[in-house]
Structure 1
Amino acid sequence: MPTSSNDGPAPTRRAYRSTLREERAAETRRRIVRAARELFTSEGFASTTVAMIAARAEVAAPTVYATFGSKSAIVGAMLEGLEQEAQSEAWDARIRSEQDPRRRLALYAAFLRALYSGGQGIWPAAMGAAGDPAVAELKERGEQRSRAWLAPIVNALAEADALAVGLSREDAVDRAWMLSALELYFRGTAGLGWDDDQYEAWLAQSLLAQLTRPAA
């Protein structure tokens, strides 16, 4: 009896071809992001063109547009991967498991140091693309995540009666959020020539001074 067109190995071949296409597309995407990151770091966001990214990634310019649509969209893809690169989940677990509420502030400063320093070529590009709606939306989501990180840290200080006198939890989160701004990292490192150790120490000390009462 003849085998119908729906029988046999054809579905496997189709699945294989589909998987191969997905792998090639993912590799192309990685090459474009890697090339853009290198160029944003060396040339800056404004001076980097899609043609330059395509040449560095060894793909055609239309491939870059088809994959991302714009330079700003490439920046968005980079931003989404930064917290993963900085091992944010591991930092979150470490901060939450720390019993000393003041020590949590120091650990948070260490996390921001890792997050900001790991994206040296990306953050300036993101600030250069801030006018793009997609990048602006990612920035807003990042600021919301920052507040979500800070809320349990501040709550631990409040429960330990360690918040500065007269400071509400809401105001404490506001102060910590302001001190955590990416712009202040670049003011210190690029503007003042600080290294990452100096930035981390400054942030940890500032958080303690602004949020807590002196330890007994």
Structure 2
Amino acid sequence: MQRTTTSRARLLAAAEQVFYEQGITKTNIDAVARTAGVTKPTVYAHFASKSALAAGALEARQQRVAADLAAHLAGEDPGAPRLTALFTWLASWYEHSSHRGCAFLNAAAESAADDVVAAAVRAEKEWLFEVLHGLCEEAECDSPGELASQLLLLIDGVAARVLVHGPGRATEATAAAAHAAAVLLATASQSHDQS
């Protein structure tokens, strides 16, 4: 059982790396198997298809993102400071882990017709929306769902900027998004204070 678990973990780590670096559609199962140091039959013993492997890799990445974000936010004061700290975390994440932009948006663009991959992408975006929604509620904003949606658009915009212009633009893009988020947050908080 330990060997099976280890092979699966190596496969997910390799798939996450190779699919992110080279793209899902451009990467074949052999490349992932080589990177993981396993045989092709081992890949199919754990995953029914390339789509299932790609979705599993996206889910593993989402779990890492969630843990990293939670650890970052845990050190912040509740309310607006925690919401704005999300953008500080985003800048750091792009600097260290996401030089090709958002793995989930990249996967969606590459695999638009793949329902298995699309489901993993939607799950990540729904998770991020829920995180933002919770932070907006914690900050006592008016219309937390609307604000969360707007903030998610800003975050996805940063991802697009990094993908198009390269990781060197991540700091600038996240700073611009953080500024826009602060304006949105101030507006949402101001209308809440007046009611």
TM-score by length of 2: 0.75
Answering whether residue 35 of structure 2 is matched by residue 60 of structure 1, we say no
Query: Deviation of residue 120 (structure 1)?
Result: 4.8
Query: Deviation of residue 94 (structure 1)?
Result: 3.3
Query: Deviation of residue 48 (structure 1)?
Result: 1.0
Query: Deviation of residue 209 (structure 1)?
Result: 1.9
Distance 2:114 2:99 in 1: 20
Distance 2:133 2:105 in 1: 27
For structure 2, the 5+ residue unaligned runs are: 191-195
- Asked if 2 retains the 8 angstrom alpha-carbon contact of 1:185 and 1:199, the reply is yes
SS in 2 for 1:210: helix
Match of 1:185 in 2: 158
RMSD, aligned α-carbons: 2.9
- Asked if 2 retains the 8 angstrom alpha-carbon contact of 1:82 and 1:115, the reply is no
Question: CA 1:50/1:124 → structure 2, altered by over 3 Å: closer, same or farther?
Answer: farther
Question: CA 1:197/1:125 → structure 2, altered by over 3 Å: closer, same or farther?
Answer: closer
Larger radius of gyration: 1
Question: CA 1:155/1:55 → structure 2, altered by over 3 Å: closer, same or farther?
Answer: closer
Query: Deviation of residue 134 (structure 1)?
Result: 2.3
Distance 2:13 2:139 in 1: 41
Question: CA 1:92/1:198 → structure 2, altered by over 3 Å: closer, same or farther?
Answer: same
Letter in 1 for 2:85: L
Match of 1:75 in 2: 54
Q: Please list, as runs of the form range in 1=range in 2, the aligned pairs for 1:50-199 lying within 5 A after superposition.
A: 50-86=29-65, 87-95=68-76, 98-99=77-78, 101-115=79-93, 118-120=97-99, 122-123=103-104, 126-127=107-108, 128-158=110-140, 168-181=143-156, 184-193=157-166, 194-199=168-173
Question: CA 1:138/1:198 → structure 2, altered by over 3 Å: closer, same or farther?
Answer: same
Residue 179 of structure 2: which of 205, 210, 213 is its match? 205
- Asked if 2 retains the 8 angstrom alpha-carbon contact of 1:54 and 1:61, the reply is yes
Distance 1:51 1:196 in 2: 32
- Asked if 2 retains the 8 angstrom alpha-carbon contact of 1:75 and 1:125, the reply is no
CA offsets, 1:132-179, max 9 Å, x none?
Answer: 222222222222222221223222443xxxx5xxx6333222212222
Letter in 2 for 1:93: A
Distance 2:14 2:129 in 1: 32
Q: Which moved more, 1:113-122 or 1:25-34?
A: 113-122
For structure 1, the 5+ residue unaligned runs are: 1-21
* Count, aligned residues: 182
Distance 1:106 1:168 in 2: 17
